[in-house]
Chain A
Amino acid sequence: MLCPMLQARPLREPPNCCPDVIGAIGNTPIVELKKLSPKPGVRLFAKLEFYSPTGSVKDRVAKSMIERAEAEGAVAPGQRILEPTSGNTGISLALICRLKGYPFTAVMPENVTSERTELLRMHGAEIVYSEGSKGSNGAVELALDMAQKDPSVYMPYQYGNQANPDAHYYGTAEEIIKDIGDVTAFVAGLGTGGTLMGNGRRLKEHDPATKIVAAEPLQGEDVQGLRSLDDGFIPPIIDLSVLDRKIIVTNRDGIIWTRRLFFEEGIFAGVSSGAIASVAVRIANELDEGNVVFLVADDGNKYMSAGLWTKSLDELEAVDSTVWW
């Protein structure tokens, strides 16, 4: 006879359990950075997107793009997914595609850090390298060419996919409004434009006075390998009218502030987040009071091999010729 404790009882569905790790994407914490805030009346907040399954904000984007494609019937089980990405989106797509059963190919510049390649391989992704001197533009160009030649693949194309900004419009921005309320300025990195467009539109609907500020990398001269200015690239989802400011940050400043985030606030973030923090503090300095929110896009693990936290700035190799973000 079974002990009464072990007798079968009807189990209730656990009320707060994600069905799988994809369900754990979103609802990231937001923390105040009192040490880096330059003035008592100006509060600085960091939204920590590294609290996500692959450690970056791109989990939201990858989930949104794949789930929308599924809902629209644009992908069939087993169909190959192809995307130009120099890192985080590729890792997010690799995880989601693996769990959902889609083979995945990432097209990325050959000069990204080794951790990215390792993670993609761990998730079973196929990697196609584009010419490093052409930077991200080269990866986009090659992936578009590959997709055109092979119509059996599905390319989410984060640079032009509305599901990218929508992940932020319906997700990230709602969380910021719920957790902070009044946002004087929102600062994020400019890459595809998805983070800034989605958050910018939703935050301005909530309060039209909110300033939307883009931080963008000053790419080193070695990775500006364009033959002509007409080889330039503007992601189709970017609408500059959403932005109030757009500020370039050198790799060197990005690294200095990545270190400050770690050593002064205990936040182990990637280089783009250091650059974004430097712009957030610049904006905070211009205010007398207000809430400045910035987005920490990923964690520092993928940058460990470069020695960002252990070497002096002068010892770091290839500060300008590496695509940091």
Chain B
Amino acid sequence: MATVKIPPVLRPAVSGMSEVQVDGSNVGEVLSGLAGMHPETRGQLFAEDGELNRFVNVYVNDEDVRVQQGLDTGVGVGDTVVILPAMAGGQE
């Protein structure tokens, strides 16, 4: 069971919760599990081709999965999966 941290922009789709416990051994399974529990998140998390929406960044234990194995990146029991919107950098 991993803890998925939900950004404010997605909370209306998960009954206002800021984190959700979801089963899954990789990022794809965890996010599909989340979409199964809260169907309104599916269209925001995934693009039509089943890949991650390009404006969604997902981190397992603080590391972006896009520069790892994407949806195949492993998730262990007790890991934290953070979902964040892609935003412009800060003090640039």
Q: Which residues of A contact B (CB under 8 A)?
A: 58, 84-89, 112, 135-137, 139-140, 158-159, 189-193, 214, 216-219, 221, 224, 226-235, 240, 243-249, 270, 272, 298, 323-325
Give CA–CA (A22, B41) in the complex, Å. 50
Contacts A136-B87, A221-B7, A245-B63 given; does A234 touch B55 at CB 8 Å? yes
Q: Contact between A233 and B67 (Cβ–Cβ < 8 Å)?
A: no
Q: Judge if B32 is at the interface, Cβ distance under 8 Å.
A: no
Q: List 30 A-B contacts (CB under 8 A).
A: A86-B90, A88-B92, A112-B91, A136-B92, A137-B87, A158-B92, A191-B89, A191-B91, A217-B89, A218-B82, A218-B84, A221-B7, A224-B8, A224-B85, A229-B55, A231-B85, A232-B56, A234-B54, A234-B86, A235-B89, A245-B64, A245-B67, A246-B63, A246-B66, A247-B64, A249-B62, A270-B91, A272-B91, A323-B91, A325-B90
Given contacts A139-B88, A232-B87, 14 further A-B contacts (CB under 8 A): A84-B88, A86-B91, A88-B91, A135-B88, A158-B92, A193-B89, A224-B9, A226-B87, A229-B85, A231-B85, A232-B55, A233-B87, A245-B63, A272-B90
Residue of A nearest to B83 (CB): A229
Convert B39-66 into 0s and 1s, putting 1 for each residue whose CB lies closer than 8 angstroms to a CB of A. Answer: 0000010000000011110010011101
Q: How far is the CB of B64 from chain A (nearest CB, A)?
A: 4
Inter-chain contact count A-B, CB under 8 Å? Answer: 119
Which residues of B are found within 8 Å of A139, using beta-carbon distances?
88
Give which listed residue, B56, B82, B92, contacts A86 with CB less than 8 A. Answer: B92
CB-defined interface of B65-79 with A at 8 Å, one 1/0 digit per residue?
011000000000000
The 6 closest A-B pairs by CB, nearest first: A191-B89, A232-B55, A246-B64, A136-B88, A191-B92, A232-B86
Q: Is the beta-carbon distance between A229 and B66 smaller than 8 angstroms?
A: no
How near does chain A come to B74, taking the closest CB pair, in angstroms? 16
A219 near B92 with CB under 8 A, answer no
Q: Which residues of chain B are within 8 angstroms of A235 by Cβ–Cβ distance?
A: 88-89
- B64 near A324: Cβ-Cβ < 8 Å: no
Task: Answer whether residue B10 sits at the interface, using C-beta atoms and an 8 A cutoff.
Answer: yes
8 Å CB contact of A217 from B9, B54, B82, B90: B90
Bound form: Cα–Cα A244–B63 in Å:
10
Tell me how far the C-beta of B62 lies from the nearest C-beta in chain A, rounded to whole angstroms: 5
Contact call B85/A89, Cβ cutoff below 8 A: no
Q: In the complex the two chains form, is A229's CB within 8 Å of B89's CB? A: no
A227-B91 contact in complex given A232-B85, A247-B64, C-beta closer than 8 Å:
no
